[in-house]
Amino acid sequence: MTDALAAGTILSVRDLKTWFVTRRVTAKAVDGVTFDLRRGETLAVVGESGSGKSVTSLSIMGLLSRPGQIAGGKILFRDRAERLHDLASFAPKDFRKVRGKEIAMIFQEPMTSLNPLYTVGDQIGEMIALHEPIGRQAARQRALAMLKHVEIPDAASRLDDYPHQMSGGMRQRVMIAMALACKPSLLIADEPTTALDVTIQAQILDLLRRLQAEMGMSILFITHNLGVVAEIAHNVVVMYAGRVVEQAPVNDLFAHQRHPYTRGLLACTPNAARDLGDDGERRALYSIPGSVPPITDLPPGCAFEPRCDFAIAPCRAVPPPLVPAGPHGSSRCIRSAEL
């Protein structure tokens, strides 16, 4: 492979295009997405439903369902042996060699990912046995060790529980244990805390941070919640209508947003100091007007223009390019220097 990754980079998505093609229409769910993830760091991909963030993660994992297909671009991944792979060119059999072992994924709702007919111990043990030459008893002991590692109380008795016998937070810990059982170098977390209450959500984030520090893994964290991003991410990619509209280190992004959409997302996040008026009354929480346009019917110019308070006539003409903005980031807005 002639492509090269910068030192310390484990994943480089370059001009990725993931389209859903039927006889009637082509939906460009991901259209030219580029970003890099460094070893041991967390990259958050943020956006509303329909922005393309989950399709991006499914493209990396090789879990696209028909009629979805990678129509262009590269997904360069460096495994633990320092071998470089272009996942965009992988056949299904190729993904089976890296999925679960080198790259793992946890999902928003574990009840749809865990098999209700098998105990959690059997499911974690099966994941281990699939990738390593290990006996059933040894796999069971590894499964028990993983349950302890993700801080499930009384793990020995929980090993033979079925998913329905556990709370939502416990099931998510089981999913994390299963994902990390073979010590992957890259973990993709797709909205892993959305279905949990805020207390359990904080516990899961703390757990991910601890495991990341212990195992040295990289995390691609998919979310719509910028409050979560502030706690866990090193860098942020903001997506809208299938494209990256802003990217920056997390501290830079929170200090100064270079795209109106990012500014709107932050304004939608509850903030006790900001949301309290001079009279002591709580202000109504801001919401971005309108909704993400259908991928099959995007406006001719900037996709965010119909919802944007900063839009001017040129915004309606042609889609803006992603250009450098600020000292470390980039923005897909022709007025980024004015923000």
pLDDT of residue 170: 93
pLDDT of residue 285: 75
pLDDT > 90? residue 332: yes
Residues ≥6 apart with Cβ < 8 Å to 90: 62
For 66-123, give the secondary structure using H, E and C.
CCEEEEEEEEEEECCCCCEEEHHHCCHHHHHHHECCCEEEECCCHHHCCCCCCCHHHH
pLDDT > 90? residue 277: no
Question: Per the structure block, which two tokens stand in for 172?
Answer: 């998510």
Q: pLDDT tens, 71-107?
A: 999 999 999 888 999 999 999 899 988 999 999 999 8
What is the mean pLDDT of the segment spanning 145-163? 95
What is the mean pLDDT of the segment spanning 237-264? 96
* Burial (CB count <10 Å: 0-12, 13-18, 19+), residue 148: middle
Q: Taking the mean position of all CA atoms in its chain, how far away is CA 338?
A: 30
Q: pLDDT tens, 101-149?
A: 999 999 887 778 899 999 999 999 999 998 888 898 999 999 999 999 9
Mean pLDDT score of the chain: 91
pLDDT of residue 96: 86
pLDDT of residue 154: 94
pLDDT of residue 275: 54
Statement: 9-102+184-338 belongs to CATH 3.40.50.300: yes
pLDDT of residue 301: 96
Helix (H) or strand (E) holding 210: helix 198-215
Q: pLDDT tens, 282-303?
A: 667 788 999 899 999 999 999 9
What is the mean pLDDT of the segment spanning 154-161? 95
Domain extent listing, the chain:
9-102+184-338, 103-183
* Angle ∠(60,65,69) on CA atoms, nearest 5: 65
Specify whether the backbone of 138 is left (phi greater than 0), alpha (psi in -120 to 50) or beta.
alpha
% of the chain at pLDDT higher than 90: 76
Where does the pLDDT of residue 1 fall: very low under 50, low under 70, confident under 90, or very high at 90 and above? very low
The C-alpha atoms of residue 179 and residue 172 are separated, in whole angstroms, by 10
pLDDT of residue 112: 80
pLDDT > 80? residue 273: no
